[in-house]
Amino acid sequence: MNHDLESLKARVARLSVMIFDIDGTLTDGRIFWVPNSGWTQMYSVRDGMGIKRLQEAGIEVAAISGGDSLSAQMRMQSLGLRHVHFGSQDKVAHFEKLLTLLNVSAEHCGYMGDEVVDLPLLNAVGFSATVPEAPDEVRAQVHYVAQRAAGFGAAREVCEFILKHRARSAP
């Protein structure tokens, strides 16, 4: 999708909820085996700061992930996310439950994901974003493609875009 800045600003102005995929979005998609600890991923403190800034601006931040790891659970807890779904085989179903729980409509939600399995949810929200490493099919269908790499500031870039244009566009 090609979107001009004004249409993106209008989409961002409506956001009250921003949802993130974890693996390949908040991480670079790699997993590491740590003896005596198990599998782990690495997270960017910059991405975490972007999430915190969204929360401070009154945006509810959530995560819906197909994966489930102790490191992801610990990271989401450390960020203070109240709504996190791990091991999701149907992200849209979890999203619909979140809409009901938060009493918001899909157009007031954003989602950042990186894979073909994320497309149904990326197409269901008012604002969608992805990372530059995402498959062509995903990049072609979202509203915003980050320039920074997954796990290295892509989520922070999206958060900053939201904060910058939401503040200027809010009624």
Q: Which residue ranges make up each domain of the chain?
A: 5-169
d(CA 44, CA 20): 14
Query: Is residue 4 a known part of a binding site?
Result: no
pLDDT tens-digit profile of 61-108? Answer: 999 999 988 889 999 999 999 999 999 999 999 999 999 999 999 999
The CATH superfamily of 5-169 is HAD superfamily/HAD-like (3.40.50.1000)
Query: Is residue 47 a known part of a binding site?
Result: no
Gyration radius from the chain CA atoms: 15
Query: Is residue 114 a known part of a binding site?
Result: yes
d(CA 1, CA 162): 18
Window from 29-43, 52-66, 115-129 with minimum mean pLDDT: 29-43
Alpha-carbon torsion (73, 148, 138, 16), positive or negative? positive
To 5 degrees, how large is the angle CA 8–CA 12–CA 14?
A: 125
pLDDT tens-digit profile of 114-157? Answer: 999 999 999 999 999 999 999 999 999 999 999 999 999 999 99
Structure tokens at 81: 């996310």
pLDDT at 20 over 90: yes
Cβ neighbours, 10 Å, residue 27: 26
